[in-house]
Amino acid sequence: MTDQSHVAKEKERLLQEQAQLIDELKSLRELMQAEVDIEPDEGDAEIFEREKNAALIAVLESRLQDVQTALRSIEKGNYGICSRCGKPIEPGRLEVKPDATLCVKCQEEVERLSRRGRPQRQIQW
Ligand SMILES: [Zn+2]
């Protein structure tokens, strides 16, 4: 069961976040471009700043991708639905990871299975 008004609200929130991320990325990139001239004596601090900004850009970019993936799945109508068990994904989880396609239970299961490496025939009960 999908709650359409909830999804509409989520979409609104994601669009806002998307706009905000694009804005932040734009100003960070401008900052990076403006700081090309590095004075030798303050080089270390400058480099540190630039590395920090580059790391921040990477974080924001991956978040932006998550948000855009989520927006696409809203369009497709499968946002917030676990692709493994078909149950709704926990709202708290979607807030942290908007592009989540698995519920917490399935995610744990999948991670547990992949950690084990080679598939084994193991009866657990
Ligand atoms: Zn699931």
14 close to 70: Cβ distance less than 8 angstroms: yes
Ligand 1 centroid vs 27 CA: distance in angstroms? 38
Ligand 1 centroid vs 17 CA: distance in angstroms? 26
Between 109 and 41, whose confidence is greater?
Answer: 109
Ligand 1 centroid vs 77 CA: distance in angstroms? 17
d(CA 29, CA 115): 37
Structural domain for 20, as ranges: 4-115
Q: Is residue 124 part of a domain?
A: no
pLDDT in tens, 9-50: 889 999 999 999 999 999 999 988 876 665 666 668 888 888
pTM of the model: 0.74
Q: Is residue 77 part of a domain?
A: yes
Residue 1 pLDDT level (bands cut at 50, 70, 90):
very low
Ligand 1 centroid vs 107 CA: distance in angstroms? 7
Cα 30 to Cα 23, 91, 115, distances in angstroms: 11, 35, 41
Ligand 1 centroid vs 90 CA: distance in angstroms? 10
Cα 21 to Cα 12, 26, 122, distances in angstroms: 14, 8, 45
* Total domains, the chain: 1
What 8-state DSSP symbol labels residue 118?
Answer: S
Neighbouring residues of 40: CB distance < 8 A, sequence distance ≥ 6: none
Ligand 1 centroid vs 89 CA: distance in angstroms? 7
CATH of the domain at 39: 1.20.120.910
Write down the pLDDT at residue 39. 63
Q: Is residue 65 part of a domain?
A: yes
Write down the pLDDT at residue 7. 86
Ligand 1 centroid vs 51 CA: distance in angstroms? 38
Q: Is residue 120 part of a domain?
A: no
